[in-house]
Chains A and B, each alone.
Chain A
């Protein structure tokens, strides 16, 4: 092939008419004529980066969608690459799923439209930004960032490059949560006063993670686990298999603690209920200690209070939220059961299968990839939720009330807090 040859992409080829002229037999499945099949031009070609247990769950939801064609996995762990390839190949009855250990190689593929990212919090924002810079749409697990600066850079990148982003905050498409938000936004609760967002209980996941290191172990071969790439932008520390087996949570360098872990879902629903997807609370007052119980009271400029707290819930399941207004209240959680004040009971519906939320959320993303409209957990909304959670986390670490200026994106009169808005990334990485 000459060096000046032009690359012809699959879709251009199909549109060019060459197909009609060529004397060959094309299976009907390729043209999408089989019952339920989707023609290639309507399929979304998907790759995935960093697929552990949660990522595998997300991937199943994507594989259930007929218009998704999953073609490649990238992981720094050989075992995970093999598992995901095996899943994909079994699903499609072929051996086509490509494997990569360098995400730039996957992102350079012109045939891939979108990527699923589920690495671990340390990589989420940076990989999402790299994907946007390479013209990909992104579905990314939460928490979506390690710092306020990463959250802003994430929103900036997706606005700048015009790509579609959906945070893995699937409760934005879960029936019970959506109904609770609707009750708040439609005025059924009266004037909103207090929004409660559940965090993980401090006794199982403290709000401030550990700064300790686990004992050093011999590093495996780079082909088995590329430890340097696993760490990515995080500070170096000696290898221990425990981190790599999905047990990286509760370490400061890799994780935002219990506030980010569930707050990325529950504060997110509060933001939405308060019609505050474009902004963040302006005051953060922490109480309690790292052993729990604890809370951070976050006041919005419109006077509404959001309370991130780890205890005192009605036991309606994990990731509960409770919205209170002058005329009533509603509370719900992952059991999808709902409780409310008497006057709102007529609006509640019976519990449904919570797994539908993920399928709906993935579908919302795929539809927006096609329509180029914004999904429910878009980059701007996700960034603002994460900034609110990081601000609460910083207030809790400092143990004092902080005032936040959402326009300047800085704490007012608190240099220590402002210095915690970002962290230098390990070379060569940057945002």
Chain B
């Protein structure tokens, strides 16, 4: 091969220095070994009756009970409800108990959650309220209405959110009343719940009632994001092709 002449003569060069060796990228840390007591596989294949036994067993570990609750969420029937409900007051397992209870279609799960409202306080009570809202338990409306006036703002806010999700004419009236008598931060939660409640009313075909609720959410004492959302939602309802004409 013919080599081309350099256009500019090369200046004498110092002996080529070896480039520094590339800095080795540290290997990612290997995951720690899972200890045998934290392996879920044996538990996840257990039938519901065995999982319920674990929940009742005072010798069972938190891990075993936690995994039993998570598995029961998918496969449990009403016979698992008492064992799950018994854990609603356990600070370490209360959430796992709701994880199991919340998806059980049987109404006994609602009954158990409603019963727990009378016994719990603070965060555990908030969790149960959230689950009742998630299940849209209409029978909980009276109890939730009382909790709107709780001295614990977190409880009152949770009650408002649950009422919004449950929706319906009663919940709408309760939230409207609460808008007038509550103060931030509870009023903020009541207002946000009002938006959700109004959407439920529209889905039920109670458009006029929803529009009235939106009006009450447009008042100046309502936080701006909710006010704007109420205007936006009312506008959407008023211009919808499905509106009465």
Contacts and interface: CB of A to CB of B under 8 A. Distances in A.
Contacts of A429: 130
Interface string B55-77: 00000000100110010011100
Contact of A160 (B32, B195, B224): B195
A53 to B, nearest CB: 12
A105 interface: no
Residue among B33, B41, B70 having the largest count of chain A Cβ atoms under 10 Å: B70
B34 A419 contact: no
A425 B133 CA distance: 12
Contact of A235 (B35, B66, B158, B233): B66
B103 A422 contact: yes
A288 to B, nearest CB: 19
Interface in B41-60: 41, 44
Residue among B31, B102, B195, B233 having the largest count of chain A Cβ atoms under 10 Å: B31
Contact of A430 (B66, B134, B228): B134
Interface string B189-202: 00010011001000
Interface string A107-149: 0000000000000000000000000111100000000000000
A211 interface: yes
Contact of A215 (B29, B38, B74, B99): B38
A240 B31 CA distance: 10
Given A211-B44, A214-B32, A427 B95 contact: yes
Contact of A416 (B31, B35, B75, B195): B75
Interface string B130-150: 110110000000000000000
B105 interface: yes
B126 interface: yes
B38 A161 contact: no
A212 B38 contact: yes
B126 A427 contact: yes
B92 interface: yes
Contact of B31 (A135, A160, A247, A419): A247
Contacts of A135: 224-225, 228
Contacts of B96: 235
Contacts of A428: 123, 126-127, 130, 154, 158
B207 interface: no
B131 A424 contact: yes
A133 B133 CA distance: 18
Contacts of B199: 156, 160
Nearest to A247: B31
Given A162-B229, A420-B74, A424-B98, A214 B130 contact: no
B40 interface: yes
A28 interface: no
B40 A161 contact: no
A426 interface: yes
A86 interface: no
A60 interface: no
B232 interface: yes
A13 interface: no
Interface residues of B, number: 51
Contacts of A236: 92, 95
Interface residues of A, number: 35
B225 A134 contact: yes
Given A160-B195, A425-B130, A133 B225 contact: yes
A133 B192 contact: yes
B124 to A, nearest CB: 6
Contacts of A161: 225, 228-229, 232
B102 A430 contact: no
A386 B194 CA distance: 27
B40 A211 contact: yes
A7 to B, nearest CB: 12
B245 to A, nearest CB: 23
B102 to A, nearest CB: 4
A301 B98 CA distance: 36
Contact of A419 (B33, B92, B103): B103
Contacts of A426: 95, 127
B124 A242 contact: no
A247 B31 CA distance: 8
A15 B158 CA distance: 40
A242 B158 contact: no
Interface of A: 132-135, 156, 160-162, 210-215, 235-237, 240, 242, 245, 247, 415-416, 418-420, 422-430
Interface of B: 28-29, 31-35, 38-41, 44, 63, 66-67, 70, 73-75, 92, 94-96, 98-99, 101-105, 123-124, 126-127, 130-131, 133-134, 154, 158, 161, 192, 195-196, 199, 224-225, 228-229, 232-233
Given A133-B192, A210-B40, A242-B32, 19 more contacts: A132-B225, A134-B225, A156-B199, A160-B196, A161-B229, A161-B232, A210-B34, A242-B31, A245-B29, A247-B28, A418-B103, A423-B99, A424-B102, A427-B94, A427-B123, A428-B123, A428-B127, A428-B130, A430-B133
22 contacts: A132-B225, A160-B232, A161-B225, A162-B228, A210-B34, A211-B70, A212-B38, A212-B39, A213-B34, A213-B38, A214-B31, A235-B96, A236-B92, A245-B29, A419-B73, A423-B73, A423-B99, A424-B102, A424-B134, A427-B124, A428-B126, A430-B134
